[in-house]
Amino acid sequence: VRRVVFASSNHAMGMYDRHSEWPVYNHLPPRPDSLYGVSKVFGETLGRFYHDEYGLEFIALRIGWATADVGSGDDDLLRAMWLSPDDTAQVVERAIEAPVTFGIYYAISDNPNRRWDLTNTMLELGYRPNDNWEYVLGEHERVVEGGRPAAPGWPN
């Protein structure tokens, strides 16, 4: 294959969330919050090796909370990382077609309370999220300066 689009996860950086250390940028050192997160960091690192050693194109998408039913989770952190089905399709399509040959990108919708930087996802992949949980649920964000702390034991 010429290109791999790797389904990574927000859990690759989950300790930032656990300790409410926001905003989170893709260039920060990985801080997985679980063995699952460790496996995603390993996958990203393996992709970097294959890109550098063999020229394999590798795009990692650090996917937030992908669900069609954003109302099923009342947790502020879940809503902040929500990725709608339509935005999922768009970011994957952009990852397949982008002119870049390597990168790690956040994949979340345009949520007002998001804590993860989408700058490189938008600039390098051309991703333009269309959805946000406020619009879907007809609710408004409860603004907490600096963001609401992660729930004890995050991730659940």
Active site residue 16: no
Res 76: pLDDT: 80
**Residue 79 vs residues 10, 14, 114, 124: alpha-carbon distances, Å:** 13, 15, 8, 25
Is the predicted pLDDT of residue 60 greater than 70, yes or no?
Answer: yes
Name residue 18's amino acid.
Answer: R
At residue 156 the predicted structure's pLDDT band, cuts being 50, 70 and 90, is low
Cα 40 from chain centroid (whole Å): 12
Give 77 or 62, the one with higher predicted confidence: 62
Lowest mean pLDDT among 35-39, 70-74, 121-125: 70-74
Q: Across residues 107-112, what is the average pLDDT?
A: 92
| DSSP-derived 3-state class of residue 107 | strand
Of 16, 25, 36, 105, which one is the catalytic site residue? 36
Which candidate, 87, 82, 89, places its Cα nearest to that of 66? Answer: 82
pTM: 0.86
